[in-house]
Structures are given as structure tokens and as C-alpha cells.
Amino acid sequence: MSQNLVTLDYIIIIIYFLIVGGYGYSIYRKRRKGEHDAKAFFLAEGSLTWWAIGASLIASNISAEQFIGMSGEGYFLGIAVSAYEWIAAVALIIIAIWFIPVYLKNHIYTMPQFLKTRYNETVALIMAIFWLFLYVFVNLTSILYLGAVAINGLVGGDYLHAIMIGLAIFALLISLGGMKVIGYTDVIQVAVLIIGGLATTYMALTIVGEKFGVGRDAIAGFKILLHNAPDHFHMIIQKPTASSSANDVNRYLDFPGLTSYFAGIWIINLNYWGCNQYITQRALGANLETARTGILFAGFLKLLMPVIVMLPGIAAFVLYSKGYLPQLRGGKDGSYSAVLSFLPTGLKGLSIAALTAAIVASLAGKVNSISTIFTLDIYKKYMGKDSGEKKQVNIGRITVFTAMILAILFTWKDLLGIGSAGGFTYIQKYTGFISPGVFAMFLLGMFWKRTTGAAAVVGVILGFGLSVFFNEFAPHVLGNENFLYTAYYSSLDKAYEIPFHICMGLSFTITMIVMIAISMAGPKINPKAFALDKGMFKLSPSTWALIMIIFLLIGALYVKFW
């Protein structure tokens, strides 16, 4: 296929496919008696263990946008991009303690169902359509495109469309078996991506050491990175001044330093992990203790992810800046593939298997969520109200197939411009358009009994409108600087922009104020408000221990790299 790969690489890749495929088929065979059971297909019958839930959360989350996109941001921003992962660990703690009990107590299985139960059908339908478009045209397309580009670069550069189709077919084979097959094969996928990812990072650091004359020593290689790219090892990116370079301004636009910790990054993470069908679906079929433990296990694994997906990007930056990485192509998103080109026989195959595992797991999880929302929240309610469970499962499988075909069509020639935007930024920015309104609607709906359906409708529309306004039009309308924000000139986009984290914070704050004002005109207690009690949020000693371990580790990381 390519001179970049040899027989041993292919053997490792084939073994990966056989293990995942064989294990997935064995899980499917065990549940064939319930293959037309809708709950089994969409929610795994509540049979996922805590470790399967945690592994599946990570496998679904860590995909091409992390391996390729976050590695690219590591190349550009440095360790600051790790905040997405480490704040996610804190967000998962919040979800485990306060969000999941509300979902489970009220027997919530989909996010639109939450909105219908708490608000009304109008809100649920609006958001079901929003989520379907987001999942298909932002998440699914970007995962498929970035994954195909990355693997294509490793096998010679001439097989983009063949790889794209191959990834889609393998993901379809897993997803057509339902959530239980996805959940348990994700355990293998996570093991492969962690082992392969750590091996890749280790080799990247030894290559740095070798190129800089200190020997093939990973620790020495890491010290070389610290010495040659000190600005890449600070969590807080400084606010630009009049003397700042265009590159410094662009870095701040991507991640606006300390301001981000009071604005967008919390909205991104809490909305993603707590109000997202794609993620919460893994835990919604389990009991509370199992769900909480699985989510916290995922939080613990998130602490490890920057080592796998961010450090190779910094290694690529140092190697390229010193002339040791001439094969780097495609800008920052090409950094991970360029580093992988150094890998020896066998390890390259393992790295491709790790990339494939991450991509396939995310694709399968995403299309399953798409089919769940479409089947349960649109088809069953508005098209086939009397459809039985067999019919629902069949509709779910047709939806899986249709979503994947659409993703292939839109990524075939990158119609959405994912490559030019930068994969990780593309996903974060366009997901961020709906995150402020959605998170405000969920947060107030869960914990403020006065919130009304009218406020929710206004909130989701206003949140989206404000996000578009602040991201695209505010500097032209309100000027480049005022008491709300400062816009900076982006040399990449040739225009003044507000950092999108700040855009999200402004959109969320205004949306919350408007929703509260509208709800104040309604009854003091909305009849559809959820009943909450303190017992729902009580934690076991083992849960407290896991939370403390995660906080201590995060604290140590921030003290070291502040």
C-alpha cells in the first residue's frame, strides 16, 4: 500500500480489526434474543458496568479532533490547550454529583425527552432538530474528515477517499449492533488508543532527544521541549499588548488566558458532558452508583489525555522550528501525522490502530445518538406513533446508515471547510453557537423551579442568535472595544474578532438574565418543575475518594504549569 508501512504494521492493524470485530460480534450474539428491543438497541438495557461506561465516554470523546486537532493546538498554543481536558475532569465531577441524579430520578433517556418533560414539546422539537444538524454536519463530518486525513498521511497520501469509506463501514458494522456492542467494544478501543497514544508520545520524546544530541531518552527529550519552547508550557496565555506579535494575538484569540476560566471553557465542558445525548447516553441506562463511578473514572482518564494528544504537538513544534521536521504539511493539523512518520516498524501500525480506534468509536457513538434522537424524539412522536419496538430498531438502523452517507458526501471534498479552519477550533467554535442557550436552558430547568417553557424557547433562540452576533458581527456593529469585550485583529482571518470563549460567556450571561426575567412573570413554581431532594446528591465514601484524587492531581498540574 505504501513504503511507509511494512508487513508488521499491517499485521498489527489487521489484528486490531479482528479483535474489535470479533468481540463486538460476540456481544451482539449474546443479545440477539433482544435485537428488536428498542431499549437494548439505544441504551444497552442498562447493562454497562462502571468501567464500560467510563471507557465508552472516553472512546467517544477522544477522536480525530483530539489526536489531530488538539495535537495541532499543542503545536500552536502549547500546554494551555490541556485546560479543555483538565477542566473537563472537574465538569465530569459536577455532572456525576448533580446532573445524573436528576436524569435518572426522572427516567430521562434522551435530551429532547428532558426538554419535553421539563418544558414542552416545542422546545424538545426545536432542540432535537438542532442536535441532529449539529451531530451530522459538525461532529460526524469533522471526525470522519480529520481521521481520514490523518491516516491517509501515514500510508502515503493517495488513499483519502478509500480510508474515509473504510472508517465509515467499520463504524457502521459496530453501531448497527446497538449501544451495548458500542459500549463494550469501546473498552478495547480505549485500551488501544491509550497504549498506542502513550507509545507514540514516548517515541516522539525520544526522537526529540536524539535530534538534539542528548540520546534516545524520553525524559531528556521532554527537558529539550521545556528549554526550546518555554512559552508552550504555561497554562495561562497573556493578554496581548500593543507590542504583541500577530502570532501572540492569534494564540489569545484561540484561548483568551485567564478570562476563559470565567467564561467559555466551563460552558463548553458542562454543556458537552452534561447536556449532550452523545455523551450522557452511556450512563442513562445504569443505576446511580454505577453511572457516577463510570463518569468519575472517565474524569480520571481525562487527566491523562494531554500526554497522548497534546505533547506530540509540542514535539512537532520544536522539531519543525529547528528544521528537523520538513515533512510537516497541512499547518498545525499536520503535526501529529508528521511526528508519526518518524516511528519505527510495528509502532507505526500500533499508532494507526490507536487512531482508528478513536475515530471508529466516536463515529459509532455519534451515529447511535443521532439514531436515538431521530427515532425516539421525532419518528416515534410525529411519524410512527404506533410503531412497535422492531420497527423502531429498524428505523434506528436506517438513520445510522443515512447519517453516515451524509457525512461522507459532505467530507468527500471538504465542503464545510474543516481543513482550513483547523479541526479542533472548527468543532469548538460551531458547537459553541448553541452551547450558551442550551446550557442555560438545562441549568435553570434542573435547579430553578420557576423556569418556564416560554423562557426556554426564548433562551435557546436568543443564545444561538447572540453567539452568532458576537462571533461574526459585534466588532462591526459595536466597535472593537467596549465595556463588554475587546476585539483583536486576526492575521489568519484578516478581521477583528472577539475570542470565542468570551463570546460564549457573554451569550450565556445575557441569555440567563433574559430567561430569569421571563420566568419571573410566571408562577413561583412551574407545574412541570422537577422534584429534588438532598438524598439524590448524597455521595458514598468511595465516590468522595475518587473526587479528591482527581482534584489533587489537577491542583498539582496547575501549580506546576501555571
- Domains of the chain in start order, with CATH, are 7-431+532-561 (1.20.1730.10)
Residue type, 533: D
Residues forming a β-bridge with 481: 486
The larger pLDDT score, comparing residue 1 to residue 267, is at 267
110: left (phi over 0), alpha (psi -120 to 50) or beta: beta
Distance from C-alpha of 460 to C-alpha of 123, rounded to nearest angstrom:
8
pLDDT by residue (tens digit) across 146-200? 788 778 877 766 788 898 898 888 888 777 666 666 666 667 777 777 887 888 8
Distance from C-alpha of 529 to C-alpha of 120, rounded to nearest angstrom:
11
φ, ψ (nearest 5 deg) of residue 428: -60, -40
- Cell numbers describing residue 420: 482550513
State the pLDDT confidence band at 433, using cuts at 50, 70 and 90.
confident
State the pLDDT confidence band at 214, using cuts at 50, 70 and 90.
confident
pTM: 0.84
Q: What is the pLDDT of residue 119?
A: 92
Does residue 555 carry a pLDDT above 50?
yes
Specify the range with the lowest mean pLDDT, choosing from 28-32, 246-250, 551-555: 28-32
pLDDT by residue (tens digit) across 31-90? 555 445 555 565 555 567 888 888 878 877 777 667 777 788 888 888 998 998 999 999
Give the up-direction half-sphere exposure of residue 198: CA atoms within 13 A in the CB hemisphere: 7
Work out the number of other CB atoms within 10 angstroms of the CB of residue 321: 12
- Total number of residues shown for the chain: 562
Residues with Cβ within 8 Å of 324's Cβ and at least 6 positions away in sequence, in order, are 211
Answer for the pair 123, 440: CB distance below 8 angstroms, yes or no: no
pLDDT, mean of residues 237-257:
87
Residues forming a β-bridge with 489: 496
Highest average pLDDT, of 141-155, 305-319, 483-497, 508-522, comes from 508-522
Distance from C-alpha of 197 to C-alpha of 344, rounded to nearest angstrom:
14
Q: What is the pLDDT of residue 230?
A: 92
pLDDT, mean of residues 201-225:
89
**pLDDT above 70 coverage of the chain, percent:** 88
Q: What is the pLDDT of residue 64?
A: 64
Helices (H), 373-499: 389-411, 418-421, 423-431, 435-447, 453-468, 474-478
